[in-house]
């Protein structure tokens, strides 16, 4: 392929800039920064399923702030990312914190009851008929559940989650 020299140099300049070495260094720095940001700071996750409807739709991409709970504890109403098992860090579940350490949490006629008082949950749009005897969260446990409670209880992952399995707080 014999291209004229001016076309080849213009193409090279468009791809590599005036200094190919500096462009390579910039690319390497960009790759390292992206690896650090998306490995340690913001974990990208794809939502599968409808357990968090309507706040988070299925197949959406969101980010988990991995540093959100380094100096603070999760609060009631926070949407968090949880590893369901300590052995597997590939699957991440998105749930809302409804119970804090030391609290007793249950369901009565579809409403979350914390220490005997029904919880006000403006983010829950779909009614449910869930009933669950109250369970006490341990000193390092949070009670988490999805927003879409119209699903049957057996099709939903919810309950107590240890603090060390909380990956972080959802950003978007």
Q: Which of 6-10, 24-28, 46-50, 103-107 has the lowest mean pLDDT?
A: 6-10
Q: What pLDDT digit, counting tens, does each position of 92-138 carry?
A: 889 999 999 999 999 999 999 999 999 999 988 887 899 999 999 99
Q: What is the 3-state secondary structure (H, E, C) of the chain?
A: CCCCHHHHHHHHHHHHCCCHHHHHHHHHHHHHHHHHHHHHHEEEEECCCCCCCCCCCCCCEEEEECCCCCCCCCCCCCEEEECCCCCCCCCCEEEEEEECCCCEEEEECCEEEECCEECCCCCCCCCCCCCEEEEECCCCEEEEECCCCCCCHHHCCCEEEEHHHEEEEECC
- The CA distance from 55 to 50, in Å, is 10
pTM: 0.80
Q: Binning pLDDT at 50, 70 and 90, where does residue 170 land?
A: very high
On the CB side of 97, CA atoms within 13 Å amount to 24
How high is the mean pLDDT of the chain?
86
Where in the chain are the domains?
A: 5-40, 47-170
The residues pairing with 136 across neighbouring beta strands, listed in sequence order, are: 104
* Architecture label for domain 47-170: Ribbon (2.10)
Cite the active site residues: 51, 95
Has residue 166 got a pLDDT over 90? Answer: yes
């Amino acid at each position: 392929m014999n291209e004229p020299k001016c076309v080849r140099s213009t193409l090279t300049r468009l791809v590599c800039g005036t200094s190919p070495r500096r462009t390579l260094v910039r690319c390497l720095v960009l790759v390292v920064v992206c690896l650090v940001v998306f490995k340690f700071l913001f974990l990208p996750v794809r939502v599968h399923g409808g357990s968090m409807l309507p706040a988070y739709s299925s197949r959406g991409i969101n980010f988990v702030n991995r540093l959100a709970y380094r100096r603070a504890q999760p609060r009631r109403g926070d949407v968090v990312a949880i590893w369901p098992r300590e052995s597997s860090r590939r699957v991440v579940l998105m749930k809302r914190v409804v119970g804090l350490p030391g609290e007793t949490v249950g369901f009565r006629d579809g409403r979350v009851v914390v220490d005997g008082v029904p919880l006000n949950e403006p983010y829950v749009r779909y009614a449910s008929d869930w009933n669950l005897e109250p369970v006490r969260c341990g000193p390092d446990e949070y009670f988490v559940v999805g927003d879409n409670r119209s699903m049957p209880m057996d099709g939903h992952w919810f309950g107590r989650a240890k603090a060390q399995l909380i990956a972080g707080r959802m950003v978007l």
